[in-house]
Amino acid sequence: MILLNFFLKKLIQEGTLHVIDVKGRTYSYRGTATPEVTIRLHDRWLPFKIFLKPDLRPGEAIMDGTLTIEDGKTVFDFLNLVTKNMEWRRNNPMHFTGGDPYSRFKSWISQINPAGRSRQNVAHHYDLSGKLYDLFLDADRQYSCAYFRTPEDTLEQAQENKKSLIAAKLLLDKHHKVLDIGCGWGGLALHINQTSGAHVTGVTLSKEQYDLACKRAEDRSVSDMVQFKFQDYRSLTEKFDRVVSVGMFEHVGRRQYKTYFDKVYDSLTDDGVALIHTIGRADGPGSTDPWTLKYIFPGGYAPSLSEIAPIIEKSGLYITDMEVWRLHYADTLREWRLRTYKNRDTIVELYDERFFRMWDFYLSSAECAFRHLGHVVFQLQLAKRQDAVPLTREYLLQDTDIKQEIPPLEPPLKNVANQ
């Protein structure tokens, strides 16, 4: 415990953390009285492992059950306490943006994403059982940041808000051809067609998402207007009036940024408009933590604005509008996390206890990243011409709410979160 003890004494300035080792000895690290969390270590070598790799070993220990949280507290309670002390603020020596050299190098290597690797990376996460996603997402299965216009908004309403705002920024009409890069299960594409009449083509590298998106279009009898392709965006050759991409850019990888924005440029008509929605970093360039790379999003990386903007400038695209969403994703992840807790038994039945603990750590750590570690969401509106969009934002002040009942994607398992 000597090395870990030294580190925790430096780290914990807010809240109180108690650590119980394998011999039952308690070490307390006090900054303020609250919040207070107690963890128990069940492996004598775990303190050393955590000290050497603090961005990998705690998550693995929670998954394996060699680190447990006591007194009815959750993984989120533990991570919230730790990351609050690591929060992004000026002159906080405990806020680490770059990671160690080995982790930075491994993160860089993982972002070399040719078509074959991209397909494997997508399948690793998005081709999990659809029943899992039904248990914590909204009925439209929107797996990206929701937009909470009021604190009273439900997750379902906030996801509708998100789709409506994106549609407004795209300035759609029924004559438009729209490309949706990384279309997920098709919810946004169907929303765009339903509210504007535009023709939409969605592309994805997830076979599970592709199959269900096609089925949804068929069920709504709009397959002639909303089409999906199991295809890499880089192989597209058509022109579109509008391009939209939500929650996909995080999987592109820094080495592919030029390819990505060149493809957006080439895919747009001369008066076209694009809307790119991506997780980003307010604290500057960094690296994806090793635990997330290994278990959740291989090849993933959330960029800083300073990494994106120079590439957009060289692509020939104007940034005609930019919006930064701050705590919206933290609140989205909280809703997903609470629904995951309520459906614990069903998730364990689908997979096992280790998977549930992994998923809990994933959602909890992601929420903490948005609350404390400088993660945000960027929405970038792009165009080839300065006058492709209105010169003021008045067009966004219209009421874009679309209040409708969304049918379930498939007969879901019993979901106590929605009872």
**54-58, 79-83, 395-399: least confidently modelled range:** 395-399
C-beta atoms surrounding 58 within 10 Å: 22
Please tell me the predicted confidence (pLDDT) of residue 227. 97
d(CA 139, CA 412): 9
> Tell me, what's the pLDDT at 95?
85
CB contact at 8 A, 306 and 285: yes
What pLDDT digit, counting tens, does each position of 217-263 carry? 999 999 999 999 999 999 999 999 999 999 999 999 888 999 999 99
Q: Is the pTM of this model over 0.75?
A: yes
- Which token pair is 30? 């006090």
